[in-house]
Structure 1
Amino acid sequence: MSYAIIGFGEIGHALARAFARNGIEVAVATTRDPASFAADAAAIGPTIIPKSLTEAVKADIIFLAVRFESHLEVAKALPDWNGKIIIDAMNTQAPLEELGGLPSSAYIAKVFNGATLVKGFNHLVAAVLDQDPAVHGGRRVVFLASDDDGAAAKIGKLAENLGFAPIKLGGLSEGGWLVHARGKSWGHLIFKDLIKFE
């Protein structure tokens, strides 16, 4: 299984550090030349591999960590996304009318034609996501929502491998709303920093 993070801002850096802490290789990419952020990637660790967008989208599992308005440019990188799992780690304040009345994750699922989408890793602010998820004898929670149980299970396993405690919220039309930005208001689970104890 291969992994990529598209977007190398605060969230992209935080996700990359989670991979680095656990010695898991991940490609990082933006729409810029990889040489422009190679030093940043190297500073995080040897398992963080800068790549072009064209190369990075060959991965099996892809974190989408760009600004919401940039997702259309990323979607053009492949003619179809069959067989890919996209983890939507973005937030948006776009009005619901612009999203066709859908939660942002369901809207994104239509744009990335053929991909299976999991909403996840978006409810924590970057400074919290950046921290080691092992805290106070427990593990920091990440919420996952998807219309595909198999994809949700795969991303749940990845979350565990990264040290997090995944909690599945159901489908995008149910759980997706709980972690969705609605105009200028937010879903009930956005910014909740929860710890799971075994």
Structure 2
Amino acid sequence: MSIGIIGSGALGSNVARLLAKHGISATLSNSRGPQSLASLVQELGPSIRAGTVAEAASADIVFAAVRWTDAEKVLSALPAWNGRIVIDGTNPVEFIDPNSPDAKDSSNPLAAYGIKAVDLGSQHSSEIFKQYVPGARVVKAFNHLDVNVLQQPEVAGGRRVLFYSGDDAAAKAEVRKIIETTGFFPVDLGSLDVGGPLASLPFGALSTHNFIKV
């Protein structure tokens, strides 16, 4: 199956590095266009190519590696998804300007990390995310670990646990293959309504834990 990555920031670039490390082909994209990715793609090697967002979105499996605040604008502008698999790597957080009053908000326990939680009301993030990609088979994954450890799936004599959840069994099976092939230990958290909130940053019960399967 072909793989596309929308977003080349911390998550997207590290997912690309992870795939490249295991010789898995993918198309990497961002809002600035393929030329802006030339040096990164050269670093990653021949299995990763730069493309437009539309090209990445046309793949069989698409990593959504965009900021939560950009997700609706970016994903809703794309053509029909027609049953393709979309990996929701987003988390409902907003990055704070370090010079703004929000950066010194004592009521925000996440201010020290440069982020604040987005108020979603009674909904969880994947429930809202699904609305941005109508017709896609959404699998929540690759969102709960620090992006800097994505290139180190094997550690301390074991494999890092990577949670995933979704409502389509076949889509989950394909994502599980990627998780296993790249060296992680996959743990299925069930449906999106169950697993999504559990693994979603910043307040999901499992989101801040870095488990190792030995």
Give the distance between the partners of 2:53 and 2:73, measured in 1 at CA.
Answer: 10
Q: Which secondary structure state, in structure 2, belongs to the residue aligned with residue 186 of structure 1?
A: coil
- Structure 1 vs Structure 2: percent identity of aligned residues? 42
Moved over 4 A (4+): none
Alignment partner for residue 95 of structure 1, among 112, 119, 137? Answer: 119
Instruction: Indicate whether 1:105 and 2:126 are aligned.
Output: yes
Residue of structure 2 in register with 1:4 after alignment: 4
Structure 2 segments unaligned to the other structure (5+ residues):
93-116
Residues 31-69 of structure 1, C-alpha deviation per residue, up to 9 Å, x if partnerless? 111101111121122211110112111100000111111
Residue of structure 2 in register with 1:162 after alignment: 182
Say whether the 8 Å CA contact 2:4–2:55 is kept in structure 1. no
TM-score (norm 1): 0.91
Instruction: Indicate whether 1:187 and 2:187 are aligned.
Output: no
C-alpha deviation, 1:79, in angstroms: 2.9
Q: How many residue pairs get matched? A: 190
Instruction: Indicate whether 1:138 and 2:138 are aligned.
Output: no
TM-score (norm 2): 0.84
Say whether the 8 Å CA contact 1:109–1:117 is kept in structure 2. yes
Residue of structure 2 in register with 1:43 after alignment: 43
Residues 82-119 of structure 1, C-alpha deviation per residue, up to 9 Å, x if partnerless? 1211101111122022xxx2210111112201001000
Residue of structure 2 in register with 1:66 after alignment: 66
Residue of structure 1 in register with 2:193 after alignment: 173
Give the distance between the partners of 2:173 and 2:55, measured in 1 at CA.
Answer: 26
C-alpha deviation, 1:20, in angstroms: 0.8
Q: Which secondary structure state, in structure 2, belongs to the residue aligned with residue 18 of structure 1?
A: helix
The residue identity in structure 2 corresponding to 1:143 is: F
Say whether the 8 Å CA contact 2:76–2:132 is kept in structure 1. no
Using the TM superposition, name which of 38-47 and 70-79 deviates more: 70-79
Q: Cα RMSD over matched residues? A: 1.3
Alignment partner for residue 148 of structure 1, among 157, 160, 168? Answer: 168
Give the distance between the partners of 2:2 and 2:28, measured in 1 at CA.
Answer: 12
Bigger radius of gyration among the two: 2
Say whether the 8 Å CA contact 1:53–1:77 is kept in structure 2. no
Structure 1 segments unaligned to the other structure (5+ residues):
none
C-alpha deviation, 1:77, in angstroms: 4.2
Residues 112-171 of structure 1, C-alpha deviation per residue, up to 9 Å, x if partnerless? 010010000100011122x32112221111100111122111101111111111100011
Q: Which secondary structure state, in structure 1, belongs to the residue aligned with residue 170 of structure 2?
A: helix
Say whether the 8 Å CA contact 1:25–1:47 is kept in structure 2. yes
